[in-house]
Amino acid sequence: MIRGNRIFVPDYQRAYSWEVEKQVSVFLNDLEDYLHSNVGTPYYFGHFLYEKKQDNEYAIIDGQQRLTTLTIFICALFNRIREEREITEDEEIVYENMIKRKSRYNFSTVQYDDQLFRDYVIDNVKKNPYGIDTTSGKRIVAAYDFFVKEMKTMNIEHLNSLLSSVTNASCTTHIVNGEAEAIQMFIFQNNRGKKPSRLEVVKAQFMYNIHIYGLEDTDALIQEVKSRFEHIYRSISDIEDFVDEDAVLTQTLKVFFNTLWSVKYEKIDEEIAKDSRLDFIKNFTLALDRSFNNLSRLNFDRKYNIDIEGSLLCGHYDIILPFFIKAYTNGVELDEIGRMAKALGDLMLRDMIVKTRADLISRMNDVFVNLGTSVNDIIGRIQWMKTIEGNYWWGHWSNEELINVLNAPLYSNYHNAAKLILWKYENYLKENEGKAGYAPIHYNSISSAHLEHIAPQTENGEKIAAGYDEYDEDFINNYLLNIGNFLLLSGTHNESIGNKPFEIKRDSYNQLRQQREIQEMTENDHIWDRKKIQKRKEKIVSFILNNM
């Protein structure tokens, strides 16, 4: 299949997406199972679909994940064998047929990962994987490192068996002529290892329609789409930690059609069925490129702007991400984006607290539609929703409703919301200490943030001597699960103090400002009782109403 040919991954194919814990380890396990089975027939690598470009040059359409993994595996295997013995002349020919002969590489991955692939996997000239700017590149490195690690413990006989199994394996192939037919087949082919994402299918649909309807503009349009998607794939590695590529496609549809309401994927099919399909493809691909780039900027800005960080911690991405994408696209200044993020984050946190079934999209869609270069209408709408009273349609997130919930004794259903409230409260306390110039604390800087019950849920065996109030019915029902009894700690701190006496806990409360606040509140008697819980609750509720 490979000997004497050049096989490459075309730009409309997805980059390397197999993960070690899933497909790559299964690849090796399947090969090991074959070795132990003694079936006497060649190992079968599956079916491969190609588009013939010219003599001895093929674009792989289906099976590229397997072929990429196979190439990585063979390179790691030959390097490991060379550590144990000299490569025979026949084996050197096998390597040249499958991997590389002089400066001619038999297989190439997508353009933006190919130099890394050659350096790290094939040529062993660059063994520093840091600074890789694509997720697919990181997966290539991870797959190679996985095979190297697994082969370290294998003896030469086992390595020889693996080499024999791979070089004598079988497969089936199908070749098509022409990129349009190849793209069409890709749309309907599912890789047996990992199904294409919706974004990848949309990309293939766009390129197929350009081939069919582009006429004299075909080459220019194809190049434009390929260039856009190269930018997109680079952005994916920046945003994968908080939103996946198909979610970005979903939010881009909203921004493109200027609505917060969900836009179904079928809308794309409708647009490319129209005579204006090429204009739509150009404009929507540009919108996708902008969305991925803007979310990459957002992911960077969240590290330095606590208002952006706070809004993202509240979730509701289906509502807030379109606002961010549109604001960045419209050139809104970062300070203004921070103001918008603060307002949106406060609203989403209120929604987490009050847990209403009322729909936010219907209340926010018009200000999203009209968002230009100013965020004042968004901030004004949210402020009005916070202060309005007695209005059934708009009042679900008002101070009036918030107070009703905050005055309830049980907070067990608001665990995540309580952690975010206390994080914001921490920064409020720091800011009001008068220490100008000190940066606020970021939520992610608190290692595995936990919600500590100052008076523990399980009563300490020393009872009153432990420094807590009496665990009577009133205390258990009205104070134990009260936000005044909650404290933000790191995970290790929380686990270390458990339900120990209050004196021990109090001594450990010396990190965050709100921990020191507990020390100050109990300085005279070192007792944590219902009066102090109530007093602290009132301070926190006042903070929420005035600052959130």
State the SS3 of 464-480: HHHCECCCCHHHHHHCC
Supply the DSSP symbol for 437.
T
Instruction: Map tokens 């994402």 to a residue.
Output: 197
Give the tokens for residue 456.
């523990």
> Of 3, 164, 159, which is closest to residue 77 (Cα–Cα)?
159
Q: Are 15 and 30 in contact (CB under 8 A)?
A: no
Instruction: Tell me which residue of 278, 232, 277 sits closest to 110, measured CA to CA.
Output: 232
Q: What is the mean pLDDT of residues 151-159?
A: 94
Q: Is the pLDDT of residue 80 over 50?
A: yes
Is 0.75 topped by the overall pTM?
Answer: yes
269 residue type, one letter: D
The band of 112, judged by pLDDT with boundaries at 50, 70 and 90, is confident
Closest by Cα among 184, 179, 151 to 73: 151
Could you tell me which residue, 261 or 490, shows the higher pLDDT? 261
Q: Which of 174, 129, 173 is nearest to 148 (CA)?
A: 129
pLDDT in tens, 33-54: 998 887 778 999 888 989 898 8
Predicted confidence band at 191 (pLDDT cuts at 50, 70, 90)?
Answer: very low
In this predicted structure, the answer to whether residue 179 has a pLDDT above a threshold of 80 is no
* Surface-to-core class of residue 214, CB atoms within 10 Å of its CB (0-12 exposed, 13-18 middle, 19+ buried): middle
Query: Which tops the pLDDT comparison, 471 or 432?
Result: 471
Query: What pLDDT score does 309 carry?
Result: 95
**Residue type (1 letter), 305:** N
Identify any residues that bridge with 49 across adjacent strands, giving them in sequence order: 62, 174
Residues sharing a CB contact under 8 Å with residue 465, sequence separation 6 or more, in sequence order: 501
Residue type, 307: D
The three-class DSSP label of residue 225 is helix
β-pairing verdict for 170-177 and 44-54: parallel
C-beta separation of 225 from 281 below 8 A = yes
Could you give the residue ranges of the DSSP H alpha helices within 214-370? 218-239, 245-256, 266-271, 277-301, 306-313, 317-329, 334-354, 361-369
What does the alpha-carbon distance between residue 175 and residue 182 come to, in Å, rounded to a whole number? 9
Write down the pLDDT at residue 436: 54
Give the number of residues written for the chain: 548
Provide the CA 50 distance to its chain's centre, in angstroms: 32
The half-sphere exposure of 439 on its side-chain side, counting CA atoms within 13 A, is 9
* pLDDT for 124: 82
pLDDT band of 499, cuts 50, 70, 90: confident
The per-residue pLDDT of the chain, averaged, comes to 89
- pLDDT for residue 25 is more than 90: yes
Alpha-carbon span 348 to 344, nearest angstrom: 6
Domains of the chain, residue spans: 6-188, 197-301, 324-406, 412-547
Residue 150 has pLDDT above 70, yes or no: yes
